[in-house]
A and B are shown apart, each in its own frame.
Chain A
Amino acid sequence: MIYYDKVSKKYPDSSVALDNVSFGVEPKEFITIVGPSGAGKTTLMKMLIAEEWPSEGAVFFESANIHRLSKKEMIKLRRRIGTVFQDYRLIPNKTIYENIAFAMEASGRTDREVASDVPHVLELVDLGHKIWNFPKELSGGERQRVAIARAIVTQPDIIIADEPTGNLDPTNTYEIIRILRKINELGTTVLLTTHNKGVVDTIGGRIITMDKGKVIKDDKNGKYIL
């Protein structure tokens, strides 16, 4: 489904974010990418939505080179990928409802779909009662759940979650992971990065360990070892 082919990313100051990374992702997999800060996890994720460009190598999504897509194809690709960021990236002057509705409207859903799906997905992340609040009125855990709701509401093929629990306490962390696993069980591929050992140990599944821009371990049923 996704294939990173010998991807390297070097910055002009000659620091290396990614060094010859290759691996593939199968549909419906739950992959956790672990490693210390600066290992290149976030860069890897950003490549997938073309927020970053590789210096060498290529990233393929269903045999299409992501960085060679036209603008229109890029928009379509991004609609098939739901993204959850560590800093939530909700739109501050939109209500929770509007934040989620926006993703649906942007991908051209009808008003009726929006009106029925948004409350539904908010129930799913247990935030039905905060539907008309603004992001600043929510706690960190709640905001991250809104971000997840936004990522899944368009029913994407894949969810990428970059350190979604990075700013959260253990209870909220567990809650977020539980939701992500549920999404995965319903058939969506999930790509998660974390440096939280506890998280890794709860998840199990395929674990890719990175360090200094390289994949140092790719374990079908791994543990976090560093």
Chain B
Amino acid sequence: MILTTLKRITRTGFVNFWRNGFLSFAAIVVITLSLCAFGAILFTGAFGRSMLADVKDKVDINVYFALSAPETDMLALQKDLNHLPEVASTTYTSRDAALATFKAKWQSNALIMQGLDEIGSNPFPASLNIKAIDPGKYGGIANFIQNKNPTAGDGTPIIEKINYEQNKRIIDRLSKIIPAVEQTGIAIAIILVIVAMIVVWNTIRLVIFTAKDEISVMKLVGASNTYVRGPLVVSGIIYGIVSALITLILMAALAYWGDTIVLRLAGVEVASDFELVVNVLSTYFVRNFTQIFVIIMGAGILLGGISSYIAARKYLKI
């Protein structure tokens, strides 16, 4: 009996969906737009996170050592720093490596190479590049190094300078901006989602309003509430599923072509150098496809189904 009812409700839901062509189309358009808002939020989030990660990655501090500092002391400092919980990574660059990098960079510039030759000895100090797990942690790390102020065997400090003070301003600003950007993003997302839900809810209400006479007839013929409401909810769920599929296709298209288009608009010639930047969205889309699918499909089904369920209530009271 329950199976028969379920079968009949589902079948009627499908038939109504098909026969109410224009209304179904309108509902699908509105739900699709709302789901696109969801999708846009997901993408903006992913893009923003990738950009922020990029910027965060560029923030660092360098410790420049005295030219005479013994390598063992410098490596000891690196080891100490690696033990700090705030430190994400450290990279030691020896004097020879610094020189090699410089030469490689300027090898085509005869003037600079000539100047270097005239100096004779290697003018580059060894350095230690430090990255923190969070831009806010650099102050603590810089303090740690200054307090420690390691010295060589003869008592001279091995550290020539720390470029923290120069980076301090940008670091401070970033550690304020990044959380602010994230919070604003979430706030905008919530507003967008609420607006989308209200619009969908109103559209579904309109769809069901046009069926209110049928609902009353069904009730007067002796149909139970479930029997009247069931097909409406099924139609609502179909709207959701169709809209979700359209949205996913649109998102895939955007992920595939979107980055390229954005860069073109920004006047950047797309070259293989930009591959990392270019593929932010498509990588995100492919990697998190299951999650995105569940979110979009779930949101579509819930929006369509629950709106229909609630909207029908008003007309079931007869």
Q: Which positions in A face B, CB cutoff 8 Å?
A: 49, 51, 71, 75-79, 81, 83, 89-94, 98, 102-103, 105-108, 110-111, 150, 154
Contacts and interface: CB of A to CB of B under 8 A. Distances in A.
Contacts of A76: 222
A89 B213 contact: yes
Main DSSP-derived SS at the B contact region: helix
A195 B201 CA distance: 44
A76 B19 CA distance: 30
Given A89-B213, A91-B214, A93-B16, A111 B222 contact: no
B218 interface: yes
Nearest to A156: B222
A75 B4 contact: no
B220 to A, nearest CB: 6
A122 to B, nearest CB: 17
24 contacts: A49-B220, A51-B318, A71-B225, A75-B222, A75-B223, A78-B219, A78-B221, A79-B221, A90-B217, A91-B214, A93-B16, A93-B19, A93-B20, A94-B15, A102-B218, A102-B223, A103-B221, A103-B222, A106-B218, A106-B227, A107-B222, A108-B5, A110-B4, A154-B222
Contacts of A75: 222-224
A102 B4 contact: no
Given A83-B220, A105-B8, A106-B221, 19 more contacts: A51-B318, A71-B225, A78-B219, A78-B220, A81-B222, A83-B221, A89-B217, A91-B217, A93-B19, A93-B20, A98-B15, A102-B218, A102-B221, A102-B223, A103-B222, A106-B223, A106-B224, A107-B222, A154-B222
B119 interface: no
Nearest to A49: B220
Contacts of A83: 220-221
Nearest to A50: B318
Residue of B20, B221, B223, B225 contacting most chain A CB atoms (<10 Å): B221
Given A92-B214, A93-B20, A108-B1, A51 B227 contact: no
Interface of B: 1, 4-5, 8, 15-16, 19-20, 213-214, 217-225, 227, 318
Contacts of B223: 75, 102, 106
Contacts of B15: 94, 98
A91 B220 contact: no
A78 B222 contact: yes
Contacts of A111: 4
A186 B176 CA distance: 86
Given A89-B213, A89-B217, A93-B16, A79 B222 contact: yes
B286 to A, nearest CB: 42
Given A51-B318, A106-B223, A91 B4 contact: no
B221 A150 contact: yes
Contacts of A93: 16, 19-20, 214
B193 to A, nearest CB: 32
Q: Give 3 nearest A-B pairs by CB, closest first.
A: A106-B223, A79-B222, A78-B222
Nearest to A79: B222
B90 to A, nearest CB: 71
Nearest to A90: B217
Contacts of B220: 49, 51, 78, 83, 89
A51 B318 CA distance: 6
